[in-house]
Amino acid sequence: MIPELGLAALWLAAALAALQLTGGAAAQRGDAGDLAALVRPAAILQGLLALFAFTMLLWSFVVTDLSVKLVADNSHSMKPLIFKLAGAWGNHEGSMLLWVTVLSLAGGLIALIERRLPERTMQATLAAQGFVALGFYAFLLLSSNPFERLPVPAAEGLGLNPLLQDIGLAFHPPTLYFGYVGLSVAFSFAVGALLTRQVTPEFARVMRPWILGAWVFLTLGITAGSYWAYYELGWGGWWFWDPVENASLMPWLAATALLHSASVLAARDALRSWTIMLGVVAFSMSMVGTFLVRSGILTSVHAFAVDPERGSFILALLALYIGGALLLFALRAGTISEGQRFALLSREGALVFNNVMLSAALGIVLLGTLYPLLAEALDMRVSVGPPYFNPMSAVFVIPMLMVMTVGPLLRWRHDNIDRIRLPLALLVAIAVTVALLVGLLASVGLLPMLGLVLSVPLALAAFLPLKGRRLTRVPLATWGMVIAHFGVAVALFGMANESAFTRERLAAIEIGGTERVEDWQITLEGVDAVAGPNWTALEARLIAQRGQGEPVRISPQARNFWTPPQQTTESALITRWDGQLYAVVGDQTGDGRWQLRLWWKPFVTFIWYGGILVALGGVLAIAGRVLGDLKRRRVAARSMARRSERGRLRGAAQTAGDRA
Amino acid sequence: MKRWTLWLPLGLFAFFLGLAAYQLTQPKDEFVHSTMIGKPLPRFDLKPASADLPGAKTADFTDGKPRLLNIWASWCLPCIAEAPHLASLREQGVEIVGIAIRDRPEDVARFLAAHGNPYTRIGADDLSELQLAIGSSGVPETFVIDGEGTIRHQHIGDVRAENVPELIEKLQEAAQ
């Protein structure tokens, strides 16, 4: 009964999405009547129904209803509750349902609270949102029904991919989905604005919290995914330029560009068409990402989620939405007037430069990700890896980081380089000092060197916008920018250090033997067999001692899961403020020794701390914008009340005067 | 912005769509083909993998007679499936040199006792060195080597009944 309720709710939600689309379209043709008035309520109800359907799916997983195919395929009665829940979205059907649930909840939320834009633009926006949702409902209901029943209930579930049985991963996909979906809201706003030719600063202000929100989730999702790959896959790397990683990086790059161009539009009424186009591109990248992951068209470590038939369906949706939006853009953007002009040396100028560089980096990543696809069509087999991505993206990212250090110091409209000469000279001096120090003390590759040299002045420059201001009066949004930019510097510092100074030891040692890596001394005390709820493992007991410090026990494992049978490595980490010791246990060699792989990775954790700071900056910016908006609303409401009060008094006085 | 630039994103997107649609409809080739086809065998000299048969080296392949080089292992299940078909090739006079990948002599002997021995020589490739050099990505794989020691053909996966005449044909081509 529970699954059927969920399915019914999905059908109803789909019908409401259709109503939302029709109502919004009718409003555009001018005959706004009863139908147009239904758009907002339909969007809200649709969101609630989708949420209900998703809850029903969660419930089926919680009680392990093995008559539901999805549960039988992806869960197991023995699995811990948290992973049962994660199992609900750790598969194709469930994750698509989560996708559409978040999408319609976002649509419902804007329908409920957003009143700043002209009503026609809002209706067009909600119609676009309904149109996107409709496609995904069709996808779910026609080709990937999550509530499908088995003719005969299964005796036991088939488990969940053990690699995915990890708390970090339970939350990694939903986080990215929130990001993708937030961008769908930006997309709908862009389409709505384009349809009604209302590309105004107000539109940018309305869209901005959604971009920020999406961007925060994407940042967190990418950061968490990177850390997961780092400790779970046991290769010690934190970014592999895997197609699926790129699929999450590309929307992030587009969202970062969009965020900054929307700021220009909101503050200065410039970059109108560019902002619209980025709005379309950002969501396109999310959909292209979903397509690449789901279709299996590219080989990747995420190949557990592959299905070519569903790939075709997503491709068709992609053609419909993105093709449609880009066609609309080509037809309409020419009629949008240009907006305010600005000088090259100005805040806008720096932001435009940042936008161009981010877009170029996006193009590089997109090209590298799709190149194997192109080469294969021409009957060549290639794989594109770090030797392409690292230098090619650096070509654009490094100039961008340079401009990023000074951009926030510039004034809007036009500025004079003389005004910021002093801080500029200081920053250059610091960069040169770092370069000399690193160059003298170590031999480092070009890219890590550039990273180190840039990260220090960037970290300092991030705080310069606060100079000469009363800290308590600095707006939250500015704090957000400062912290996010500082986070970028921190992450860059971590990346550069990790790639410049990592030490690796691959050794086979007997029980009682000792191995050194950097200033650590690691002793293998023993190897035991241990058992978990659905796995057994070989666990190495290691004692690690740094210099003369306190010895620390760690125990990396090689785990064997039995449903389905699969082996994973559980690395063991010791975190210090200046880096991490990373240990992995391998097989036993013929003569009874054990293979150990040990790394010392200086400042590697800064990569993820930086990511978290960037996200925190985003959260502060949202808080600042939303609080500001609420305050404006209160002020507006109060002045409205005062005006009507005054009007009433005047009216009363008049009546009194008439009477006299 | 110029008018035509507004169409550029749509154009690029259309190109991507076309490419993705084309690739989606193409049958996916999961095999890794060796780039060594047409090239001489890499130099190797492997010790015997079992007590009863000699090991294998490059010079064994340069006496003018085409042979099969079979990459296999006693721990490999498809290798059991292909054993009878290798035996039938042997009956038809084909000489097969085996390369045992990461194997132990006692396991090799046990396998040959259980599933028959189609090989004239078996070299032990304990670190997959020859396997990598010859461009084989898995077990089992079978290569046709001509009389001069040039790699002429690669068969990926286990040899099935229908592959037997095919391999004989390739050997005859190699003999010409």
* Interchain contact B113–A (C-beta under 8 A): no
Average pLDDT (A52-58) is: 95
Digit-coded pLDDT (tens) for A119-163:
888 889 999 999 999 999 998 998 889 998 888 888 777 765 666
Average pLDDT (A13-38) is: 84
Q: Which two tokens stand for residue B143?
A: 């290569």
The helix/strand count (H/E) of chain B reads as 5, 7
Residue of B nearest to A324 (CA): B10
- Residue B16 is assigned to a structural domain of this protein: no
- How many domains does chain B divide into? 1
- Residue B2 is assigned to a structural domain of this protein: no
pLDDT(B86) > 90: yes
- DSSP string over A444-462: --HHHHHHHHHHHHHHHHT
Cβ pair A284:B13 closer than 8 A: yes
Q: Looking at the structure, do residues A469 and A547 belong to the same domain, yes or no? A: no
Instruction: Yes or no: say if A305 and A293 are a contact pair by the CB < 8 Å rule.
Output: yes
Q: Looking at the structure, do residues A14 and A104 belong to the same domain, yes or no? A: yes
Alpha-helix runs per DSSP H in chain B: 3-25, 77-91, 105-115, 129-134, 163-175
- Residue A311 is assigned to a structural domain of this protein: no
Q: Looking at the structure, do residues A117 and A143 belong to the same domain, yes or no? A: yes
Cβ pair B9:A277 closer than 8 A: yes
Residue A87 and residue A136: Cα distance in Å, rounded? 20
- Residue A348 is assigned to a structural domain of this protein: no
**Residue that is last in its domain, among A132, A160, A188:** A160
Q: Looking at the structure, do residues A545 and A431 belong to the same domain, yes or no? A: no
Cβ pair B23:A297 closer than 8 A: yes
Q: Which two tokens stand for residue A307?
A: 């299905």
Confidence of residue A31 (pLDDT cuts 50, 70, 90): low
Give me the torsion for CA of A218, A224, A227, A229, rounded to 10°: -80
* Interchain contact A81–B (C-beta under 8 A): no
Domain span at residue A614 reads: 416-501+606-632
Q: Looking at the structure, do residues A620 and A514 belong to the same domain, yes or no? A: no
What is the model's pTM? Answer: 0.84
Residues in contact with A397: Cβ distance below 8 Å, sequence separation at least 6, in sequence order: A357, A361
- How many domains does chain A divide into? 3
* One-letter identity of residue A638: R
- Residue A14 is assigned to a structural domain of this protein: yes
- Residue A214 is assigned to a structural domain of this protein: no
Q: Which two tokens stand for residue A229?
A: 């790959």
Residues in contact with A154: Cβ distance below 8 Å, sequence separation at least 6, in sequence order: A66, A67, A72
Q: Looking at the structure, do residues A496 and A508 belong to the same domain, yes or no? A: no
Q: Looking at the structure, do residues A41 and A152 belong to the same domain, yes or no? A: yes
Residue A384 and residue A370: Cα distance in Å, rounded? 9
- Residue B138 is assigned to a structural domain of this protein: yes
Digit-coded pLDDT (tens) for A164-184:
667 766 777 788 888 988 899
| Shortest CA gap A290–chain B (Å) | 13
Using CB atoms, which residue from A288, A296, A329 is nearest to B6?
A329
pLDDT(A38) > 90: no
* Interchain contact A360–B (C-beta under 8 A): no
Residue A602 and residue A500: Cα distance in Å, rounded? 9
pLDDT value for A641 = 87
Dmax over CA atoms of chain B, in Å, equals 80
Name which of A81-90, A303-312, A317-326 the model is least confident about: A303-312
**Residue of A250, A326, A332 to mutate, interface with B, max B Cβ within 10 Å:** A326
Confidence of residue A371 (pLDDT cuts 50, 70, 90): confident
- Chain B environment of A377 (Cβ under 8 Å): 19, 22-23, 26
- Residue B38 is assigned to a structural domain of this protein: no
- Residue B27 is assigned to a structural domain of this protein: no
Residue A16 and residue A318: Cα distance in Å, rounded? 22
| Shortest CA gap A429–chain B (Å) | 40
- Residue A341 is assigned to a structural domain of this protein: no
Share of chain A above pLDDT 70, in %: 94
Digit-coded pLDDT (tens) for A398-444:
999 999 988 888 888 888 888 888 888 999 999 999 999 998 888 88
Residues in contact with A28: Cβ distance below 8 Å, sequence separation at least 6, in sequence order: A120, A123, A124, A127, A195, A196
Alpha-helix runs per DSSP H in A462-517: 476-501
Q: Looking at the structure, do residues A31 and A150 belong to the same domain, yes or no? A: yes
Digit-coded pLDDT (tens) for B12-32:
899 988 888 887 777 666 677
- Residue A294 is assigned to a structural domain of this protein: no
Digit-coded pLDDT (tens) for A218-259:
999 999 888 888 887 777 788 888 888 888 899 999 999 999
| Shortest CA gap B103–chain A (Å) | 12
* Interchain contact A273–B (C-beta under 8 A): yes
- Residue B22 is assigned to a structural domain of this protein: no
CA nearest to A499, candidates A543, A435, A450, A558: A450
Cis omega before residue B140 (within 30°)? yes
Q: Looking at the structure, do residues A514 and A620 belong to the same domain, yes or no? A: no
Q: Looking at the structure, do residues A150 and A43 belong to the same domain, yes or no? A: yes
Cβ pair B23:A277 closer than 8 A: no
Q: Looking at the structure, do residues A7 and A102 belong to the same domain, yes or no? A: yes
Digit-coded pLDDT (tens) for A549-585:
889 999 998 887 766 667 778 888 899 988 999 998 8
Q: Looking at the structure, do residues A491 and A532 belong to the same domain, yes or no? A: no
Query: DSSP character for A68?
Result: B
> Domain holding B74: CATH number?
3.40.30.10
- Residue A486 is assigned to a structural domain of this protein: yes
pLDDT value for B30 = 63
pLDDT(A303) > 60: no
pLDDT value for A457 = 93
Average pLDDT (A342-355) is: 87
- Chain A environment of B3 (Cβ under 8 Å): 334
- Residue B162 is assigned to a structural domain of this protein: yes
Residue A38 and residue A26: Cα distance in Å, rounded? 11
Domain span at residue B83 reads: 45-175
Average pLDDT (A499-506) is: 89
In a 3-state reduction of DSSP, which class is residue A77?
Answer: coil
pLDDT value for A491 = 96
